Amino acid sequence: MKKIMIALSMILAMPSMAQKTSDVTLHMDEAKQKINKEIYGQFAEHLGTCIYGGIWVGKDSEIPNTDGYRNDVLQALKDIRVPVMRWPGGCFADEYHWQDGIGPQENRPRMVNNNWGGTVEDNSFGTHEFLNLCELLGCEPYVSMNVGSGTVEETAKWVEYMTAKDGPMAKLRKQNGRENPWKVYYIGVGNESWGCGGNMRPEYYGDLYRRYSTYCREYNGNRLYKIASGASDYDYNWTEVMMKNVGHRMNGLSLHYYTCYSWNKSKGSATDFTRDQYYWTVAKCGVGIEEVLQKQIAIMDKYDPRNRVALLVDEWGTWWDEEPGSVRGHLYQQNTMRDAMVAAISLNTFHQYTKRVKMTNIAQVANVLQSMVLTKGDKMVLTPTYHVFRMYVDNMEAVNIPVAVNCDTFTAENEREESGRTAPYISASASKMSDGTVNVNLVNADLDNSNKVTVKLDGMKGKVVNARILTSKDMKDHNTFEVPNKVVPVDFKGAKINKNGELVVDMPKMAIITLQIK
């Protein structure tokens, strides 16, 4: 194994000798499945400074805010058109008791966040604050119920509190300042019930899902989309049991998939990593997640051939060691060009499976794991991952165009696993908007070589507009509060349509490019 790794390292260390070439073919006639905007969903958990300091500073803060929400973060999230946000967890959801987070903030009880660093939670950000945030952003709320330590009655009353026009819970809501009910569509019945959500067996959780979901009632025409707690990446038995026993009772089944170098003592540094670790990461977020999706979807197809139950990857992204000097258990990590690659390649992959995958939620919005923004006091910095979401925004609600990629591959090894992964250097996806504009999304993961990519347009005619590129000199480059614009997208001039009607793109090494043809 070591000899293979050394050989790979030597190959990857060789200087670029020539520009590589690749082909991408768009199958326009097979474009049928819409890319739900919810594929670009977000996740905000009571974890570290994701909520407090990241989104919420309170109305009395000196940091510019609107009703307690940071103005800079609000605008950043509006700019990427956040379609749906999942809350309050995560592991926190199954220890959260919603009635602690309503009423006058000064009267709300405090609790210890046992999952994440033992931080004292003051409950100043609760149901009203979250649902009002979703209204400000124009996004759908996705609320996770407490199945691990909560009761059926608690779940039933929470749904009533949020969505009923009349009744005891509606009266309580009105007393707390909200006359009209909110529109709440997505309801998560527990979270990671195989782990922090109760360490349950799938058979046991399946029975609990039947019970808890029964009492998630629909009030006054508000429809509920009920989501069962699903598997972690390679746990195919959990999916099998859930689909067999309760598949007909759910609208969606969740799936969690994180990209890291190891789940042992060290997950690897967010900013100090090797070339081998970079390539392993690229392979794990690309072919790795695709293999998992294919196997999970095959199980769902067996029990649900009519495709009635959606697969929701409601936690995904990179998970590295916490930054040195940060609070243990707060999962604060930096965000480099490598993370941008993970975001782009993952989104390209999700686009291909939108027949079954209807929502994904990257973890998390602010200051936690692969976040959109980092905040410190009154400062905010946009991460490379944020810029990918901004570049990809026009794919929302467009129709996915299936693509075929012909390019060189690499094999990445991990000394902690028995076998390597072979993955392509080029990742691609495409979509067609309602006005006929075609979006083309390209990634060159090669650290050493540029690549001339010829995109065969299947007879489409037009010209290149709105081309953007995200790249940097080093795979470890990232944005800081002192240097916030080290990794930012700029206009791209290296694409043209040749006389044969093909799109030719001269891609630099380690680059993400989005273009539109109109």
Residue 73, strand partner residues? none
* CB-facing half-sphere around the CA of 330: CA atoms within 13 A: 21
Tokens of 442: 């390209």
Residue 285 to residue 159: CA distance in whole angstroms: 35
pLDDT digits (tens, 9 = 90+) for 352-367: 999 999 999 999 999 9
- Looking at 192, 290, 322, 413, which residue is catalytic? 192
Give the range among 14-28, 291-305, 323-337 with minimum mean pLDDT.
Answer: 14-28
Tokens of 103: 């009423």
Give the pLDDT of residue 265. 74
Of the pLDDT bands very low, low, confident and very high (cuts 50, 70, 90), residue 17 is low
Of the pLDDT bands very low, low, confident and very high (cuts 50, 70, 90), residue 417 is low
* 413 counts as catalytic: no
Give the pLDDT of residue 3. 35
Of the pLDDT bands very low, low, confident and very high (cuts 50, 70, 90), residue 416 is low
Q: What is the mean pLDDT of residues 302-317?
A: 97
Give the pLDDT of residue 13. 37
Tokens of 385: 């991952």
Residue 154 to residue 137: CA distance in whole angstroms: 28
Give the pLDDT of residue 12. 39
Give the pLDDT of residue 14. 39
- How many angstroms from the chain centroid is the CA of residue 350? 10
Angle between the N-to-C axes of helices 71-79 and 127-137, in degrees from 0 to 180, rounded to the nearest 10? 50
Which amino acid, residue 227? I
Q: Output the 3-class SS for 199-259.
A: CCCHHHHHHHHHHHHHCCCCCCCCCCEEEEEEEECCCHHHHHHHHHHHHHHCCEEEEEEEE
Res. 5: pLDDT tops 50: no
**Contacts for 56 with CB less than 8 Å, ≥ 6 apart:** 68, 69, 70, 124, 125, 129
Give the pLDDT of residue 176. 98
- Looking at 121, 315, 322, 413, which residue is catalytic? 315
Length of the chain equals: 518
DSSP states of 276-321:
HHHHHHHHIIIIIHHHHHHHHHHHHHHH-TT--SEEEEEEEEE--P
Res. 495: pLDDT tops 90: yes
Residue 40 to residue 359: CA distance in whole angstroms: 7
Give the pLDDT of residue 392. 98
The chain-wide mean pLDDT, for the chain, equals 94
pLDDT digits (tens, 9 = 90+) for 431-464: 999 999 999 999 999 999 999 999 999 888 899 9
Of the pLDDT bands very low, low, confident and very high (cuts 50, 70, 90), residue 261 is confident
pLDDT digits (tens, 9 = 90+) for 284-295: 999 999 999 999
End-to-end distance of the chain based on CA atoms, in angstroms? 49
Give the pLDDT of residue 15. 41
Residue 432 to residue 439: CA distance in whole angstroms: 6
Q: Exposed/middle/buried for 498, CB within 10 Å: 0-12, 13-18, 19+?
A: exposed
Ordered structural domains, the chain, with CATH: 18-31+402-517 (2.60.40.1180), 37-397 (3.20.20.80)
426-432/399-401 β-pairing = antiparallel
Q: What is the mean pLDDT of residues 149-153?
A: 98
DSSP states of 333-373:
---BHHHHHHHHHHHHHHHTTTTTEEEEEEE-SBSSSS-SE
Q: Report the share of the chain in percent with pLDDT over 70.
A: 96
Q: What is the mean pLDDT of residues 26-34?
A: 95
Of the pLDDT bands very low, low, confident and very high (cuts 50, 70, 90), residue 415 is low
Decide if 445 contacts 407 (C-beta within 8 A).
no
* 95 counts as catalytic: no
